[in-house]
Amino acid sequence: MKLSAVLFEKGLKVHTANESDPVLGAVEKLVMHNIGALAVVNTDGRLVGVFSERDILRLVSKTAGELKSLTVGKFMTRDVVTGKPEDDVDDSLAKMTAHRIRHLPVISDGRLTGMISIGDLVKARLDESEFHKAQMENLVLGRYPA
């Protein structure tokens, strides 16, 4: 299964922030949409970073009380691990595990096309496993034309 299939199922809506956005506004977006990370894009819509819950925790531990004046760009993760729509789900799970990340921006032709969470990939693998299980049961029980 490819990331493009997961994105098709999940949808292509990606919640974003700009580097100059206030941290408090980014936190409000995360809470409003019940998500763990925002893709940070520049004025051309190109991915320049990811601002995640972990970034917020690091920020709060260092600068409690200053959130209203701080910007996303100052604290976001800049060295972003990304995927492509044609990447395999298993390979993407391995990449996310190796880098200890829970969110993978998907890039096509240099443009952000989606954001995949590790939960999305686990769900895709479970759905695929259930599909194969049902196929095998149908084959074994003779409910599947040969």
Query: Domains of the chain, with CATH numbers?
Result: 3-140 (3.10.580.10)
Q: Three-state DSSP class for 88?
A: strand
- Closest alpha carbon to 106 in 81, 123, 73: 81
Average pLDDT of the chain is 90
| pLDDT, tens digit (0-9, with 9 covering 90-100), for 73-88 | 988 999 999 999 999 9
Q: Summarize pLDDT for 19-72 with one digit per residue, the tens.
A: 999 999 999 999 999 899 999 999 999 999 999 999 998 888 887 777 778 889
Task: Report the interhelical angle of 118-140 vs 3-10 (nearest 10°).
Answer: 100
* Residue 116 φ/ψ, nearest 5 degrees: -110, 135
Query: At residue 14, what are phi and psi to the nearest 5 degrees?
Result: -120, 130
Q: Are 56 and 80 spatial neighbours (Cβ–Cβ below 8 Å)?
A: no
